Structure 1
Amino acid sequence: MIESSPRNLLAALALLSTSAGAAVATEVRITEPGGDNSAVKAVESAALTVRTVANEEATAQDIYSAALADYSRIVGALYARGYYGPVVNIRLDGREASYIAPLSVPSSIGVVEIKVQTGPAFTFSRAEIGPLAPGTVLPDGFAAGKPAESGLIRQAASAGVEAWRAASHAKAEISGQRIAANHRNATLSADLKLSPGPAVTFGKLVIEGDSRVRRKRLHDIAGLPEGDPFDPEKLEDSADRLRKTGAFRSVRLAEAETLAPDDSMDITLEVVDDKPRRFGFGAELYSQEGLSLSSFWMHRNLLGGAERLRFDLEISGVGGADDGGEDFSLNGLFERPATFDPDTGLYVLAGIKRDNEPNYTEDSSKFGFGLTHDFSDRLSARSGLLLNYSDIRDDLGERYMYHAMFPTALTWDGRESDLDTRNGFYLNLQATPLLGLGGEAEDGAQIKADMRAYRGIGERLVLAGRLQIGSILEASAQGVPSDLLFFSGGGGTVRGQPYQSLAVELDNGDEIGGRSFIGLSAEARMGVTRSIGVVAFADAGFIGPNSWMDDGKWHSGAGLGLRYDTGIGPIRFDVAAPMGGGTGDGVQFYIGIGQAF
C-alpha cells in the first residue's frame, strides 16, 4: 500500500516471494521531501521497483536490476514535469544500488528505499522553433514563462516536422537544437532548428514480398497518386484501402530513405496475406421472438484481386412465443474493391427468404448489383439496382408482386467502434425508389433515417440516444412487400413490448404493417468493473397508416441491462417491461452480442 501527501510519500509494500533467492518480505519506502502532487505521481508511475516487488516470483536479482533502471526512469519522469535538478537515491538494505557490483547482489533484500529530492520546477526562459510551415500549431505550453516540461519540447518538434510534411516536405527534420538549463534561476532555454527540405512528389509504388493478390490489383486498391505532391494523409488512405479489403493480416507502407533526382519519393508496400477462407456463427435469444441462429462463410481473395464472396444463413424465431413461426434467409454477396477508381467498389448480391411473422408470411427472392464509394474514412455511399419478387399472405389476402428497386444510402460514421463506442455520432440515410413490374406491385419509395449519438462522461458513464424514422411514399400498404412496411416492438425498436406488437389495425380488427414509423431510444451505460457494466434504458415507438406521422399509435418500454466485455465486444443481457401503449404485458428479455445500438 502506498500512502502519499504533497509533502511526503511513504510507501510500504510487504510481499511474500516464493522464488529461490527472493526476499522473504520486501518493504518499499518512497520519500519525496518537498515534492508536489504531480512529482509524487510521476515517481509512483515511473518506479519499476515497486511493480517488481509486487511480483511474488521476483528474486533479489530482479529487484536489483529494477533499482538500477529506476535511476534514469525517475529522472526522465521528473524532467517531463519540469524538474531538471533532481537527486535520486535508491538504497537496498541501506546500500546505494548503483554502488553494488552485479556479482555482489545479496541473496535477499529486506528494504528498498527510494528517496527523491526534486529541486525547483523550471520554467521556459526561451522557447523557439523555426522556420515553421504556414498554419503550424504549436503546443500552448511551449512559450516563455510556462512550465518547462520536456514533453512540450518533443511535442513542438513533432508539430513542426509534421506541419512541413503536410505541406509536401516529406524529409523535414530537426537539424539543430540548443537546450540549456540555468539552475541558478530555475529556467530552461530551448531553441530548435527545422530543416524543411525540398517539396516532394509521390514516386512509384514498389511492392516487396509475395502475395496471393495480383500486383496490378495491389496498385489499383492502394491508389497511390504517383506524381502528386506528397501528403501523409493520402499515404494513410492507401494503407486503409488495403486494410478494408480484409485480405491482409498486415499492411506496411514505407517511405524511401532518399529522394530521386526530381525530388520524387518511392513508397514500398509490404503485405502479409490473411487466411483466405473464414467461417463464423452467432446466436441471439429473445423471450418473445425466440432463438436466432446465424452463420457465414466467406472467401477474401476469390479471383486473386482481393474480391470477397460471402454467404450468410440465418434461422430465427425458433421456439418463439409470438404468433409467427421460424424465419429463414440465405444470402450471397460478391464485392470487388477498386472498381473504376480506388474508392469505388462493385457488389453483386442474391438471396432467398421466408418470413413467418405474427402479422404476415412472405416468401421472397432478390438479385441485384451496385456500387459503393468512400468519400472519406467516415462518409460513404452506396447505390444499386435490385430485382425483387415477393409472395405475401397477410390480413389483406394473398398476392404476389415484382419490383425493380433502386436502393441508395449515405452513411456518416463518427463512432470510435461499431460494437461498443463511448463518443461519436452515426447517421444513415436511405432512399429506395420502387418501380412496379408485375402482380399487385405499385410504384413508390421507402425512406429511412437512423441517427445515433454517444457521449462519455468521466471514465465510467456513457449516455447514448437513437432516433429512427421511416416512411412509404406514394404506394399503398398493399402494393409493396410486407418486409418494407413498419412494425414496432421487440429488440431493435421497443424493448419490453412483444415483437411487432404495434401495427396498423384495420376496420375488421386485422393488422398490417404501417407506412410510417418513429423509434426513440435512450440509454445510460455505467461501467462497474473493467469487464462488467450496467445499463438503464427506455424506448418508444410510433406506427402510422399514412406516409406522414399522423393518425397513428405510440407504445413504450423500459428496463435494465447487464454487459460483459469480451474484448471484441460486450455480451448483452436486457430485461424490460411495457410502460405504455397497451400492446403487451409481462417482462421480456434479450441476449445478444454488442450494444443494443
Structure 2
Amino acid sequence: MNESIHLMKRIAVCVALILTTGAAFATELKLVAPGAPGSLVDKLKSASLTLAAPAREEPVTPQDLLAAARADYGRLESVLYAAGYYGGVIRIVVDGREAADIPPLAQISRIDRVALRVLAGPRFIFARTNVTPLAPGTELPDGFRFGAYAESGLIADAAKAGIDGWRDLGHAKAELAGQDVIANHKTNIVAADIRLNPGPRLRFGDLVVRKTGRVRPERLREIAGLPTGETFSPDEVDEAATRLRRTGTFRSVSVTEAETPAPDGTLDIEARVVDEKPRRIGFGAEISSLEGLGLSGFWLHRNLLGGAERLRLDASVGGIGGDTGGEDYNLSARFDRPATFTPDTGLYLEARAAEENEPNYRERSIEVGGGLTHIFSDSLTGEAGIAYRYSEVDDDLGARTLEHVLLPARLTWDTRDSQLDAHEGYYLDVEATPFVGVNGGSAGARLYGDARAYLGFGKDDRFVLAGRAQVGSVSGASAAEVPPGMLFYSGGAGTVRGQAYQSLAVDLGGGREIGGRSFMAFSGELRAPLRDALSLVAFYDVGFVGADSWGTENGGWHSGAGLGLRYDTGIGPIRLDVATPVSGGSSGAIEVYIGIGQAF
C-alpha cells in the first residue's frame, strides 16, 4: 500500500513538472520600445534574459522566468547607458504586476504573459570630456569629445586609454584616481572628468618563476627574454608570454606583474606555466586515383633535455598502389632548441633519408645539416643553415652519384586565420638554396616561392576566393649536375589537379624526360557553403615546366579543372576533389583526390 502511495506521488510530481515547463514555454513574451531606433531595439532584445528563456535547453520554470525578468532591469538599463540614453524608463510587467514588486521567492504556479516596455527618452551628448593628467602621445577614443553622443562605454574606454598611455611610458602601476560623471537631465548633457594617478616610472626586475614543471627555471627565463633593467613596457610582458607559448611545451602560460614595485624602482614579473604532455604522435593519409595511397606519421617529444627542446621523427610512404613509378619512402629527424643565442633565435639539427621512385627517375638520398631559426614577428619567421646531401640517381640521363654542400635559407610570412581552412589572409614562403658540387661539381642555386591569398565575402565571409602561385628556378648548373628531387615537375595534387602525376617535364626526345630548371604553377578556387558542414569548391590549375633557368620559350604548359566537396570536421576539412585535364593532357581523363585540409 505504501509503495502505491509513493508511486502516485512520483507521478503527480512528474505531471506537475511537465505542466509548469509547458506553461513556461507557452508564456507570451514581448518587448516594445516606442520611438527607439531599430538598432537600439535589437540590442535590447539581445540583452534580455526573459526573451532568451524559450531558447534554453533545460526546462524553464515560472520562478526562472521571474528571476530573468527581475535581472532584465539592470541589463536593459546598461544597454541604454551604452547608447547614451540616461533618462530611460523600464517597466517589466508579469501577468499585470511589476516584476520588481514580486518577491523573488514567491511561489508562482504559472506565468501567462511578460511585457517589457522601454522608453529610451532623449539621447545625451558630451558637454565636457577631461582626462588628466594625460601621457604625451595618448590617443583617446574618437567618440570621447564635445558634442558626441555620451555612450557610457566611451568613458570606460577613455579611462583605459589614459592608463595604457602611461603604462606604455613605463608607469606600470598607473591607475584610475577618480572620476566624476554628471548627467544633466534638464539639458540632456553629460560632463565626464577622469583623474589618473600615473605612479612612478619603473624598470623590469627579475622573472620570478612561481610554478614550473619539467622545464628548468633558467631555461624559462632565457626563452621568455625579459629585458631586466630596462624601462617597463606592457608589450615586452606580452612578448615574454608569447615566446613561452610558441615553444609548444606548455598547456598554459601566465605572465603577470608583481603587485608591489621594489624600493629600487624595479618591478618583478611572475611566470606560471603548466606542462603539456611531453610526447605526441600523429598520422595522416591521402589517396589519389593515379598517385595511389600516401601514409605519414610522426613522433614528437616537446621537452627532450629539460630546456623545451623539441625532437620530431617523421616517416612517410607514398605511391602505394599508384601509377607513379613505385613507392616513395622518407624518414627524417629534426631537433630544435629555442632561445639559443637570443630569445627569438633557435638552433636546429636535422637528418633525412629518402628513396623516390618517380615516373622519370629513381633517387636515393641522405641529407644532414643544421642552422639557425629566427622569429621576426608573429607572422614572419626565417631560417638559414648548411647541409650535406648525397644522392644516387638513375634517370634518362643515366646512373650517377652526386654530392653537394647546400646553404638553405627560408623566409615565411603567414597572416592566414587558419592553416587548414583559411578564409582570409596571405601566405608567402620563399626558399633560396645555393649549392656547391663536391669533387669538382658545378655551383648554382635553387630558388622557390609559394604565394597564397584568401578573400572571404558574403555574409560572415561564407564564400572564399583562394589563389596560389608557385615559381621555381635552378641556375648555375646543368640538369645532370642537380639531383632530380631539386628539379621541377608539374601534375598532380600539389600542382595541377586532373593531370597525371609529374606528367609535365622536359622532353629530351626518344621518350626520354627529365625535370625542368624552371617552373610555374597557378591555382584558383571558389569555395561556397552548401549546408551544415558541407561546402563546394570549383577550381582551375595551370602549370609550366621549362628547360632553361628563366623564361617560357623552351618549355610547355598544361592545365586542369574540377569540382570538390569539403566536410568540416571542426579541426579541418576532409577534402574530395574530382578533376580532368583542360589542356596538355589526355582528354576525358578523370582523377580523384582525397585528403585532409584544403588543397592550399
| Contact kept in structure 2, 1:125 and 1:144, CA below 8 Å | yes
1:266 corresponds to which residue?
Answer: 268
1:455 paired to 2:455: yes
Give the secondary-structure state (helix, strand or coil) at the position aligned to 1:22. Answer: helix
> Quick check: 1:362–1:393 contact (8 Å CA) kept in 2?
yes
2:562 maps to: 559
Separation of aligned partners in 2, 1:330 and 1:51: 56
Q: What is the deviation of 1:530? A: 6.1
What is aligned with 2:343?
Answer: 342
Displacement after TM superposition at 1:509 (Å): 2.6
The answer to whether 1:576 aligns with 2:575 is no
Q: Give the aligned partner of residue 245 of structure 2.
A: 243
Alpha-carbon distance in 2 for matches of 1:441, 1:394: 18
Matched, 1:64 2:66: yes
Q: Which amino acid aligns with 1:357?
A: E
**How many angstroms apart in 2 are the aligned matches of 1:124 and 1:441?**
77
Letter in 2 for 1:443: A
Unaligned runs of 5+ in 1: 1-16
Alpha-carbon contact 1:23-1:60 (below 8 Å) kept: no
Give the whole-Å Cα distance in 2 for the aligned partners of 1:220 and 1:396. Answer: 52
Q: Read off the aligned partner of 2:449 and give its amino acid letter.
A: A
AA aligned opposite 1:141: G
Q: CA deviation at 1:135?
A: 2.4
1:181 and 1:187 in contact (8 A); partners too? yes
Deviations along 1:513-549, whole A, 9 cap, x unmatched?
1000111122222344563333222221111001002
TM-score, L = length of structure 2: 0.93
2:364 equivalent to 1:357: no
* Partner amino acid, structure 2, of 1:36: P
How big is each residue's C-alpha offset from its partner over 1:436-483, in whole Å with a ceiling of 9 and x where there is no partner? 114x95421101111222222242222222221100011111111111
**Are residues 341 and 528 of structure 1, via their aligned partners in 2, closer, same or farther at CA, if it must alter by over 3 Å?**
same
Partner of 1:136: 138
Cα pair distance change 1:381/1:584, threshold 3 Å = farther
Whole-angstrom CA distance in 1 between matches of 2:47 and 2:191:
26
**Cα separation, 2, equivalents of 1:93 and 1:360:** 84
Give the Cα separation in 2 of the matches to 1:157 and 1:262. 28
Give yes or no for the alignment of 1:121 onto 2:123: yes
In structure 2, how many angstroms separate the alpha carbons of the residues matched to 1:184 and 1:285?
74
Q: Distance in 1 between matches of 2:540 and 2:164?
A: 46
The equivalent residue for 2:312 is: 310
Q: Of the candidates 212, 215, 234, which is equivalent to residue 213 of structure 1? A: 215
d(CA) in 2 for partners of 1:239, 1:467: 35
Partner of 1:432: 433
Q: CA deviation at 1:583?
A: 5.6
Separation in 2, partners of 1:19, 1:179: 50
Aligned CA distance change for structure 1 residues 155 and 526 (closer, same or farther; 3 Å): farther
Cα distance change of structure 1 residues 558 and 491 upon mapping to structure 2, 3 Å threshold: same
Q: Deviations over 1:79-99 (max 9, x none)?
A: 111211222222222222221
- Alignment correspondent of 1:22: 21
Does the Cα contact within 8 Å between 1:542 and 1:552 map onto a contact in 2? yes
Deviation of 1:380 after TM superposition, in Å, equals: 1.6
Alpha-carbon distance between aligned partners in 1 of 2:232 and 2:48, rounded to the nearest angstrom: 43
Whole-Å separation in 2 of the counterparts to 1:73 and 1:348: 58
After TM superposition, list the pairs within 5 Å mapping 1:2-151 onto structure 2: 19=18, 21-24=20-23, 25-55=26-56, 57-151=59-153
Matches of 2:560 and 2:226 in 1, distance apart? Answer: 51
| SS at 2:172 equivalent | coil
CA change 1:20–1:302 in 2 (3 A) is: farther
Where do 1:270-309 residues align within 5 Å? 270-309=272-311
Q: Deviations over 1:31-83 (max 9, x none)?
A: 11111111111111101112222225222222222212211111111211121
Distance 1:545 1:305 in 2: 48
Q: Matches of 1:271 and 1:164 in 2, distance apart?
A: 29
In the alignment, is the contact (CA less than 8 A) between 1:82 and 1:121 conserved in 2? yes
How far apart are the structure 2 equivalents of 1:339 and 1:492? 35
| Coordinate RMSD, CA, aligned | 1.9
Structure 1 letter corresponding to 2:581: P
Say if 1:497 and 1:585, in contact at 8 Å, map to a contact too: no
Q: Which amino acid aligns with 1:248?
A: F
Q: Is the 8 A contact 2:206 2:268 kept in 1?
A: yes
SS in 1 for 2:83: coil
Contact 1:427 1:449 in 2 (8 A): yes
Output the CA distance in 1 between the equivalents of 2:133 and 2:77.
31
Q: Say whether 1:414 aligns with 2:415.
A: yes
Contact map agreement 1:23 1:107 (CA 8 A) in 2: no
Please give the secondary structure, in 1, of the residue aligned with 2:69.
helix
* CA–CA distance in structure 2, aligned partners of residues 199 and 527 of structure 1: 54
Partner of 2:8: none
Distance 1:155 1:461 in 2: 34
TM-score of the superposition, structure 1-length normalised? 0.93
Q: In the alignment, which of 581, 590, 593 is matched to residue 587 of structure 1?
A: 590
Provide the C-alpha distance between the structure 2 equivalents of 1:70 and 1:234, rounded to a whole number of angstroms.
Answer: 42
Flag the 1:583–1:129 CA change in 2: closer, same or farther, 3 A: farther
Change (3 A) 1:572 1:163: farther
> 1:7 maps to which residue?
none
Give the match's secondary structure for 1:430: strand
Which residue number corresponds to residue 158 of structure 1? 160
User: Is the deviation greater in 159-168 or in 223-232?
Assistant: 159-168
Higher helix residue share: 2
SS in 1 for 2:218: helix
Instruction: Answer whether contact 1:487 1:543 (CA < 8 A) is retained.
Output: yes
**1:409-461 deviation digits (Å, cap 9, x = unpaired):** 112222222222332222221111111114x9542110111122222224222
* Aligned equivalents of 1:363, 1:402: Cα separation in 2: 12
Tell me which of 225, 228, 241 is aligned to 2:227.
225
Match of 1:475 among 450, 474, 477: 477
In structure 1, what is the equivalent of residue 467 of structure 2? 465
Aligned 8 A contact 2:222 2:339 in 1: yes
Equivalent residue pairs, number: 580
| Cα distance between partner residues in 1 of 2:18 and 2:301 | 50
Matched-pair identity in %:
54
Residues 64 and 105, structure 1, Cα contact 8 Å, conserved in 2: no
